[in-house]
């Protein structure tokens, strides 16, 4: 068989896509619960949804879409052999990730300040559907936030390797897979945003 | 692990061809064969532990009333027995041990697609296992929920459920990574000429299994996260008092856990599809249908989870649909059984240990499968739901099926990696003891269930006493057979007769390389020119 250090770029990408399916299905469980409980408590969900701040949600959507664009541009840059541009674009993506988490922090703090969190007195004594809505909201956005953190860390690791020259135009599977993961984080948010902030 | 005393030192084998020494040569090795053996000994250790727990459960049930333990201990023991058997033995068992050992060899590859990820999977598995074991001995006692972790009990019990659930989550992640690795390997690393139609049936079954691991396990992941959140944060999503619905937990849990039984049985069927043609000296009957039925079982099996919930309060329509789909799964399973039997017809059958285990698989799995239809039909299920009948049924499929296939695979393939072989006669005696013991143990349970004895109770009415005593005595026969099997097999692997060349006469690629295989599997890149069961074309008499 070929050289001992053979690289299978297509194989690495296939593996990453398979892994991304598993991530989608992980969130699928929460979306399933959302669908069932929305059908059971349409009124409470609508009341809960109106409490969420569309400005924060829309702002975060713009931040994430921008970050995804920067990640895609980084992949193009590395294919063209522009190492410096790649690192800068990745830096931009990571900055957006941090900005997203910052906005999320402010948003959650405000909610918790209003005595809305799983097991809070307000939710314990309020209508059951609202407790379900906000529990789902915290779990879904929390799990998504965790993925933002993981994706950002992964991209930081990739950036270091780009600067060390270990990732270049001949070998960029790590960068491409990191970017794919980042697009997944973005994609999931594209579903979370309308379901929680817009349609209710 | 010591090196087997291999007289054929002239040929480099994966046992001695490594830069590292001692334990590091194993636990940091990325060689699929070494990882396979790591998995093998890990799962075997957990299997034997859980067998011990099972024997204790049977001793408690030997006579009515308290025999050796109280109800709380009994609850903890059946939970731990189930969690270890399911999550630490049979789910990682086939893909982790024999999938790793055999699959790359059978497709003519040097290793899996992601060797480091493969090692990482084993580490995750061991970390998850360590967390589960920690949960047993710390906190306020081992979990007592049953391996199913049903809410609302699992969200309220004071025992150490959260930690155990987190361990299972980690093990699930390991299972996902193995699945991703295997699908990629089978797509990308087949040798020249190894077309999809020449893929050995064991590889086909692993391929179907890997897809189930990829598509179903994440649902278990999120369900377990929700249980932990329920306990730690008080999210109340499954708490009816707070608007939640416990039934949603059952749906999410079985969306994974029913397909998971196909992770347990599909590779076992693959092993049988390898052993039967080799020991009948006949090309397998209906190759395409066996390969297709693996995929069909994986697909249809993903849609039948509701048959665990007929008595939980689903709508009648849902029960009808799930019942219908359950019967659909029986079709591809039966296709396999008929094809195996047709392969035997007019074959030149040699009854050596692997074949004996394969043949008993067909019988025991058929009993397990047919009793599964009794449970799959809503009307009869209501009568036997949550009785010992269920326990008997799933032991017939998972132990009599997957377990016996695992023992068959041990006798068939392990000599290939050690270059030495077990003794035939003790192996057959061990099989006989196990076969008789198995049927006494679990058939008694099915009869008890039909008579109305519920599962998961440490005590029972006096009229159930005789059959329970029989079942317990059967479990001792089973354990004696298992002990003899292990002693004979491992004595043989380290000190037995030399095993070289292709003594079984298999036509798949693993038999074309030296024994034990070299580190990179083949001295020269294999080019495949014949099918996996084309004995004539391969020149095997």
Nearest to B176 among A22, A124, A130 (CB): A22
Tell me if B174 sits within 8 A of B128, measured CB to CB. yes
Is the model's pLDDT at A1 over the cut of 60?
A: no
Is the model's pLDDT at A4 over the cut of 70?
A: no
Question: Residue B34 — φ and ψ, nearest 5°?
Answer: -70, -40
Q: Which of residues 159-188 of A touch B (CB under 8 A)?
A: none
Tell me if B407 sits within 8 A of B361, measured CB to CB. no
Q: With beta carbons under 8 A apart, name residues in chain A contacting B113.
A: 8, 11, 15
Average confidence (pLDDT) over A47-65: 95
Query: A19 at the B interface (CB within 8 A)?
Result: yes
Q: With beta carbons under 8 A apart, name residues in chain A contacting B215.
A: 21-22, 25
Torsion of CA B96, B101, B106, B107, to 10 degrees: 60
- Could B244 and A8 be called an inter-chain contact, meaning their C-beta atoms sit closer than 8 Å? no
- Could B242 and A21 be called an inter-chain contact, meaning their C-beta atoms sit closer than 8 Å? no
Nearest to B114 among A15, A22, A138 (CB): A15
Min CA distance, B346 vs chain A (Å)?
A: 40
Query: Which among B30, B14, B112 has a CA at the least distance from the CA of B519?
Result: B14
Q: With beta carbons under 8 A apart, name residues in chain B contacting A12.
A: 114
Neighbours of B321 (CB within 10 A): 15
- Could B214 and A118 be called an inter-chain contact, meaning their C-beta atoms sit closer than 8 Å? no
Tell me if B174 sits within 8 A of B272, measured CB to CB. no
Identify the closest residue of chain A to B220 by CA–CA distance.
Answer: A26
- Could A27 and B222 be called an inter-chain contact, meaning their C-beta atoms sit closer than 8 Å? yes
What is the predicted pLDDT for the residue at A7? 73
Identify the closest residue of chain B to A118 by CA–CA distance.
Answer: B235
Min CA distance, A39 vs chain B (Å)?
A: 13
What is the predicted pLDDT for the residue at B17? 64
Residue B402 CA to residue B365 CA, distance in Å, equals 8
What is chain A's length?
Answer: 200
Identify the closest residue of chain B to A134 by CA–CA distance.
Answer: B235
Min CA distance, A1 vs chain B (Å)?
A: 6
ipTM attached to this prediction:
0.93
Give me the percent of chain A exceeding a pLDDT of 90: 87
Min CA distance, B282 vs chain A (Å)?
A: 32
Which residues 6+ apart lie within 8 Å of B140 measured at CB? Answer: B158, B159, B160
Identify the closest residue of chain B to A125 by CA–CA distance.
Answer: B242
- Could B242 and A15 be called an inter-chain contact, meaning their C-beta atoms sit closer than 8 Å? no
Dihedral sign computed on CA atoms, order B26, B27, B31, B32: positive
Query: A29 at the B interface (CB within 8 A)?
Result: yes
For testing contact with chain B, the best of A135, A138, A142, A150 (most B CBs within 10 A): A135
Tell me if B118 sits within 8 A of B35, measured CB to CB. yes
Question: Residue B421 — φ and ψ, nearest 5°?
Answer: -130, 150
Q: How many CB pairs under 8 A join A and B?
A: 108
Which helix (H) or strand (E) segment holds residue B420: the answer is: strand B420-421
- Could B233 and A19 be called an inter-chain contact, meaning their C-beta atoms sit closer than 8 Å? no
Model confidence, pTM:
0.94
What is chain B's length?
Answer: 541
Identify the closest residue of chain A to B184 by CA–CA distance.
Answer: A15
Min CA distance, B218 vs chain A (Å)?
A: 5
Which parts of chain B register pLDDT below 70?
1-11, 17-19
What is the predicted pLDDT for the residue at A8? 85
Tell me if B236 sits within 8 A of A118, measured CB to CB. yes
Average confidence (pLDDT) over A51-60: 94
Query: B17 at the A interface (CB within 8 A)?
Result: no
Query: A113 at the B interface (CB within 8 A)?
Result: no
What is the predicted pLDDT for the residue at B18? 63
- SS3 state of residue B89: helix
């Amino acid at each position: 068989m070929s050289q001992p250090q053979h690289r299978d770029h297509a194989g690495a990408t296939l593996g990453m896509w398979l892994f991304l399916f598993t991530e989608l299905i992980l969130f699928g469980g929460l979306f399933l619960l959302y669908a069932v409980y929305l059908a059971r408590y349409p009124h409470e969900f609508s009341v809960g949804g109106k409490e969420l701040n569309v400005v924060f949600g829309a702002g975060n959507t713009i931040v994430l879409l921008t970050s995804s664009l920067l990640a895609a541009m980084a992949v193009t840059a590395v294919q063209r052999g522009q190492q410096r541009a790649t690192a800068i674009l990745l830096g931009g993506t990571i900055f957006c990730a941090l900005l997203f988490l910052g906005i999320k922090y402010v948003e959650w703090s405000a909610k918790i300040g209003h005595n809305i969190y799983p097991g809070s007195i307000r939710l314990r004594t309020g209508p059951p559907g609202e407790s379900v809505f906000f529990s789902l909201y915290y779990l879904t956005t929390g799990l998504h936030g965790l993925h933002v953190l993981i994706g950002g860390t992964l991209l930081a690791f990739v950036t270091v390797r780009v600067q060390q020259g270990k990732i270049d135009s001949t070998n960029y599977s790590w960068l491409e897979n990191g970017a794919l993961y980042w697009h997944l984080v973005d994609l999931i948010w594209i579903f979370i945003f309308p379901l929680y902030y817009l349609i209710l | 692990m010591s090196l087997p005393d291999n007289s054929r030192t002239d040929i480099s084998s994966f046992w001695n061809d490594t830069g590292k020494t001692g334990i590091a040569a194993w636990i940091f090795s990325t060689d699929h064969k070494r990882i396979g053996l790591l998995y093998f000994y890990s799962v075997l250790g957990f299997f034997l532990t859980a067998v011990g727990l099972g024997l204790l459960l049977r001793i408690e049930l030997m006579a009515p009333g308290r025999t050796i333990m109280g109800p709380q201990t009994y609850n903890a023991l059946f939970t731990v027995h189930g969690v270890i058997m399911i999550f630490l033995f049979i789910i990682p068992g086939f893909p982790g041990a024999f999938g790793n050992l055999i699959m790359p060899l059978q497709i003519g590859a040097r290793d899996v697609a992601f060797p480091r990820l493969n090692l990482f999977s084993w580490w995750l598995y061991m970390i998850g296992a360590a967390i589960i074991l920690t949960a047993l001995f710390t906190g306020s006692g081992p979990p007592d929920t049953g391996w199913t972790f049903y809410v609302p009990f699992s969200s309220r019990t004071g025992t150490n459920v959260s930690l155990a659930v987190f361990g299972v989550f980690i093990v699930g992640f390991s299972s996902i990574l193995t699945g991703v690795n295997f699908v990629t390997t089978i797509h990308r690393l087949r040798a020249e000429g190894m077309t999809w139609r020449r893929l050995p049936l064991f590889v086909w079954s692993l391929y179907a299994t890997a897809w189930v691991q990829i598509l179903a396990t994440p649902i278990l992941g999120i369900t377990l996260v929700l249980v932990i959140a329920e306990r730690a944060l008080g999210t109340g999503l499954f708490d009816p008092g707070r608007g939640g619905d416990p039934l949603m937990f059952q749906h999410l849990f079985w969306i994974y856990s029913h397909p998971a039984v196909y992770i347990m049985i599909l590779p076992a069927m693959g092993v049988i599809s390898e052993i039967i043609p080799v020991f009948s000296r006949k090309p397998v009957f209906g190759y395409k249908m066996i390969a297709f039925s693996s995929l069909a079982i994986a697909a249809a099996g993903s849609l039948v989870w509701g048959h665990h919930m007929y008595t939980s309060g689903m709508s009648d329509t849902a029960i009808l649909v799930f019942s219908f789909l359950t019967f659909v799964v029986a079709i591809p399973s039966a296709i396999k059984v008929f094809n195996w039997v047709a392969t035997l017809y007019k074959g030149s059958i040699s009854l050596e240990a692997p074949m004996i285990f394969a043949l008993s698989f067909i019988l025991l799995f058929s009993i397990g499968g047919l009793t599964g239809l009794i449970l799959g039909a809503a009307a009869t299920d209501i009568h036997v739901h949550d009785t010992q009948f269920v326990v008997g049924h799933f032991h017939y499929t998972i132990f009599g099926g997957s377990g016996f296939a695992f023992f068959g695979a041990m006798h068939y393939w392990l000599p290939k990696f050690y270059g030495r072989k077990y003794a035939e006669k003790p192996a057959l005696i061990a099989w006989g003891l196990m076969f008789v013991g198995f049927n006494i143990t679990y058939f008694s349970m099915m009869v008890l269930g039909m008579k109305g004895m519920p599962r998961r109770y440490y005590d029972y009415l006096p009229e159930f006493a005789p059959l329970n005593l029989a079942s317990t005595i059967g479990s001792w026969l089973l354990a004696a057979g298992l002990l003899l099997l292990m002693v004979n097999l491992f004595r043989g692997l380290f000190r037995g007769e030399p095993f070289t060349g292709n003594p079984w006469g298999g036509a798949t690629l693993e038999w074309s390389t030296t024994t034990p295989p070299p580190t990179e599997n083949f001295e020269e890149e294999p080019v495949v020119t014949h099918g996996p069961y084309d004995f004539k074309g391969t020149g095997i008499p």
